[in-house]
Amino acid sequence: MPNNTPISALNDLLSAQQHAYQAQLMPSAEQRIEWLKALRTVLASEQKLLCDTISADFSHRSHDETLLAELMPSLEGIDYACKRIKRWMKPVKRKVGLAFQPASAKIVYQPLGVVGVIVPWNYPLFLSIGPLTGALAAGNRVMIKMSEHTPRTAQLLKELLARVFPEDLVCVVQGEADLAAAFSELPFDHLLFTGSTQVGKHVMRAAAKNLTPVTLELGGKSPAIISADIPMADAVERIAFGKMVNSGQTCVAPDYILVPHARIDEFVEAMRSTVRKFYPKLADNPDYTAIINPQHQQRLQDTIDNATSQGAEAIAIHAEGQGQRLPLTLLLNVSDDMRVMQDEIFGPVLPIVGYQTLDDALTYIRQRPRPLALYYFGYESSEQQHVLHNSHAGGVCINDTLLHVAQHDLPFGGIGPSGMGHYHAHEGFLTFSHSKSVFSKQRLNAAKLIYPPYGGWLQKLILKFFLR
């Protein structure tokens, strides 16, 4: 089991990384690529150990889901960055106005310094390696706080990263909520947090004490809209996959489904058929991931009970689960008073909300906090554009779920209560870099024409020319 990091050690770790950064303010592209290739090698060489360890933290986690949803995008993200670091690092020329010639202007991308990363429990590998990749690509030092709910994975990742990085470049810290609170109060040069909206507010408040800039990757209730005419089997197959990966313990999982009233029964039957095809049984099924711990399992059961006590109809796709394997439960006749329609679900519970027109569905979404993701299922291009232009979400998939997060050339981030800032892609490099403006002049200094004393005829002529 892990050795928790003493809170008193945090400042020493940060100080060591700050001193190391000061000794190497601008690592070369070759150095950054070397770091990332070393990271890739150690992850690729320990695939089975990573899968086994994450599964142990969950009581059972599908190895295939860990490979598909954590290891594969982590390795691909490293490859993507390695191929582009040299291009991203190149200074970008900017224009200089006529009044300030002769001169040149450019943007130089400089590492921020030391980046803090707070990792949630649901995807402990991908949500630590993704930010680490972006921060290293930008030339930074990185401190990672792993979730206390995945202690085995935290310990393993600490050991793996120690194989290839000194502590003053990358380090992992472990501990309970008190250590996480102390971590968020450290004077980082940037802090990235992935987790709930409620905790995100505390992180931002703590970071504000040091004016530390933050990237918040939060969650919320990500809706999926079924159009009036899409073949139901097409939509449901993709929704079922997006909902059931990691047993719904995904920040961008479909949280509730907006279905035309006349198609609700059709949706329920299609979902029942599809999920049973994916998972013929739950007991001893290696493909079906468990809920992270009994406390979260009880929270989900309480959410279902709260809804049914207020008139919702619960439809369990399987008759029973096994241990922490919880069956997918559909909820009909839900209302805003129910807990399931107020809080992010984060598990295999799926409310279904009926609607009359597409604009009704979009109004329903706009009346609620802006979600991290929005999913629309319909093949009519004009309706697709209507959805895009009349909704706000961190990211959107048309006729799919989740997979926008795996596109390495797309930024990932939320909006409003679902987060702020982006990482992944070029935007990730920019998040972890300072875009330093550089204005350069040589011997000739035309600006002296506007130096005091003011009121000369040449100054008046210049002002007349540029202020016309």
Known catalytic residues are: 217, 251
Which residues are 105's β-sheet partners? Answer: 94, 439
Cβ atoms of 125 and 61 closer than 8 Å: no
d(CA 186, CA 289): 35
Q: Considering only CA atoms, which of 239, 246, 253, 317 is closest in space to residue 288?
A: 246
What is the edge-to-edge ordering of all strands in the sheet holding 395-398? 313-316, 329-332, 349-355, 256-260, 223-226, 373-377, 395-398
- Could you count the other beta carbons within 10 Å of the beta carbon of residue 64? 12
Q: How many whole angstroms separate alpha carbon 131 and alpha carbon 394?
A: 17
d(C-alpha 304, C-alpha 309), whole Å: 9
Among 350, 149, 158, 339, CA closest to 247: 350
Residue with tokens 């120690």: 162
52, β-bridge pairs: none
Distance CA 173, CA 180 (A): 9
Distance CA 287, CA 247 (A): 10
Residue reference for tokens 């702020």? 420
